[in-house]
Amino acid sequence: MTTQDFITELFCRVDDQMRQMPKHSQAMLHPSEIVTLAFIFAIKGVGNRPFYRWLKRDFQSLFPSLPERTRLFRLFKTHRAWTQQFMAEPTVLGVIDSYGIELIHPIREGRSRKQYGRKGLSNRRWIVGGKLCLLLNKLGLVVAWDCDTANVSDTIFQPLIKQYEDEMIVCSDTGFHAKEGDPVNLKVCRRGSWNQRMMVETVLSMLTLCNHFKKVMHREWQYFQMRLAYTMAAFNMLMART
């Protein structure tokens, strides 16, 4: 399959999902075009400028109304809520885990007043960035996600688990266990038990290797959240049809 064929098929899938979403009378792009472009950006896993140069050079014919780069990424940020349509349905058994994402090298910490990433441990090494928490169903699809800075404990994501206490039993590692008490649907799995949790490790490996997701470069927190949202939605879109 060529890249053009892939983009065309991705657009068809997105358009089927967003068929009821109306286009604004003054908008240059349809909602399905915006989401498709954002998915391509998330899948390609490069910076804003390299992505836009590649898109404009090779595939502008597919998107003749392509806006200027900064306007395009503002559209991505503004319409981030559309990604909720692509979240998976919960199942009886689910898995939750966190994933550190590096924004800058630790040696550059504190050089900018606008730095929003914080220093924390990820895979036994120090990073300065954010932390993604994702909740998966039994099929390995993303049901919900949340994010915070890298210095926070995994227990801060317990509300994400509690949100599904009537629908899911959620397996986690010991990092999600809190002294004050855990949600009733949380099952803490110690190392070496409940090998079903390996599914989430597979998902995180795919994000690292295929989406180059371990390190991203965004100067504002809202754009960081936008990147996470479209990556999670694109992952569901691709994996649900494989």
Rounded to whole angstroms, the Cα distance separating 91 from 166 reads: 11
Q: List the structure tokens of 150.
A: 């890298």
Mean pLDDT split into 10-residue runs, the chain, 242 residues: 92 90 83 95 92 93 92 95 94 93 89 88 89 94 95 94 93 89 89 72 89 88 95 92 58
pTM over 0.85, yes/no? yes
Largest CA-CA distance found in the chain, in angstroms, rounded:
57
In a domain, 79, yes or no: yes
pLDDT value at residue 67: 93
pLDDT value at residue 181: 85
pLDDT value at residue 23: 81
Are residues 130 and 15 part of one domain? no
Domain that holds residue 25: 3-86
Q: Which of 59, 86, 113 is the last residue of a domain?
A: 86
pLDDT value at residue 242: 53
Rounded to whole angstroms, the Cα distance separating 89 from 56 reads: 36
In a domain, 68, yes or no: yes
In a domain, 165, yes or no: yes
Rounded to whole angstroms, the Cα distance separating 67 from 29 reads: 8
pLDDT value at residue 33: 94
Are residues 193 and 159 part of one domain? yes
Q: List the structure tokens of 225.
A: 């959240």
In a domain, 55, yes or no: yes
In a domain, 236, yes or no: no
Q: Which of 86, 109, 124 is the last residue of a domain?
A: 86
> Would you call 163 helix, strand, or coil by DSSP?
coil
What domain count does the chain have?
Answer: 2
Can you list the alpha helix ranges (DSSP code H) found in the chain? 3-17, 31-44, 48-59, 69-78, 158-162, 198-211, 221-239
In a domain, 238, yes or no: no
Residue 141 sits in a domain whose CATH number is 3.30.420
How far CA 152 is from CA of 147, 164, 191, 235, in Å, comes to: 10, 22, 22, 25
Are residues 10 and 82 part of one domain? yes
> Would you call 172 helix, strand, or coil by DSSP?
strand
Rounded to whole angstroms, the Cα distance separating 119 from 31 reads: 37
Q: Which of 61, 86, 111 is the last residue of a domain?
A: 86
Cross-strand partners of 120: 127
Helix or strand run (H / E) with residue 133 = strand 125-136
| Pairing mode, strands 125-136 and 142-149 | antiparallel
